[in-house]
Structure 1
Amino acid sequence: MKIILTQEVSNLGAPGDVLEVKDGYGRNYLLPQGLAIGWTKGAEKQVVTIKRARAAREVRDLGHANEIKAALESRTYGLAARAGNGGRLFGSITAAEIVDAVKAAGGPILDRRRVELKNAIKALGDHQVQVKLHPEVTAKFTVKVAVAK
């Protein structure tokens, strides 16, 4: 099955990539999740628009990615969340909340889809977060979750 990715999919490709995938994977996962659209000649024309939007969001080059990495790793970012007994959160911290905290602290603007959370953040304290800025650059920084007042 031939598809066009509309969002980044780990180990598969980036938005605008035209790929050949197994029928079941495309039909049962990629298309229903909105991660891809079926390939047609009309949809092929949308690839230019998708790639233009991706270029606007993307880090310019390796040097720029390293600058952003240095800015991210130089500080700790704080988040306030409601918590119950024992420091357990009501819900969890999302990638969007992390991006907002970095932006509010004067850090660089990040794409929430590039934030990689190994485990869900469901407790108070310090947590390591990774952001894939470039295929060769991954930034690791600390998010401190405290009780909201």
Structure 2
Amino acid sequence: MMKVILLTEVKKLGKKGDVVEVAEGYGRNYLIAKGLAVEATEGKLKELKEQKEARDRRKEKELMEARALAEKIKSIEVVLYGKCGENGKLFGAITSKDIADALEGAHKIKIDKRKIELKENIKALGVYPVDIKLHPEVSTRLKVVVKEEGRG
């Protein structure tokens, strides 16, 4: 038996970065020969541990930044203007891209439009709570106010 570090996901064996114990022939003649794994030497294990720690630190930093941004967004109100008919229905619609552009323009906060969870485009005047998923663990709500163009 020998220990190897997987360089890619191997079906029924493990994910990238996993240290697994396999038969020596399978390890040397298949996994290492095909570039799917490397032998788990002391140096390689140390390198893997350092990479994992760096990845964990980066993930923690991203989480902290997302939480700080969520707090900032929670207190913001974005105002958008659109042309509308007599009944308050907009000609056209307000999309997640419009919201992202307004957020960047007015508040210098750049958010990918795909993170803005708009169930359907906004088609009428009013105030709308819009959810934004900043991180797998962090979501916040933005207040979007849609007013008629020219009236303020």
SS in 2 for 1:146: strand
Matched, 1:92 2:125: no
Whether the 8 Å CA contact 1:78–1:143 is kept in 2: the answer is yes
Q: Which runs of 5+ in 1 are unaligned?
A: 1-17, 19-59
**Local SS of the residue matching 1:100:** helix
The higher radius of gyration belongs to 2
Q: 4+ runs of 1 displaced by more than 4 Å?
A: none
**Percentage identity across paired residues of the two chains:** 37
TM-score relative to the length of structure 2: 0.57
Asked whether the equivalents of residues 72 and 107 of structure 1 are also in contact (C-alpha less than 8 Å), the reply is no
Match of 2:78 in 1: 77
Q: How do 1:60-139 residues align onto structure 2 when only pairs under 5 Å count?
A: 61-139=62-140
What 5-or-longer segments of structure 2 have no aligned partner?
1-8, 10-60
Paired position in structure 2 for 1:141: 142
- CA separation in 2, counterparts of 1:84 and 1:90? 7
Q: Tell me the distance in 1 between the aligned counterparts of 2:109 and 2:65.
A: 11
**AA of the residue aligned to 2:74:** E
TM-score (norm 1): 0.58
- Aligned-pair Cα RMSD in Å: 2.1
Give secondary structure in 1 for the equivalent of 2:107.
Answer: coil
Checking the alignment, whether the CA contact within 8 Å between 2:96 and 2:121 is kept in structure 1 is: no
Aligned residues: 93
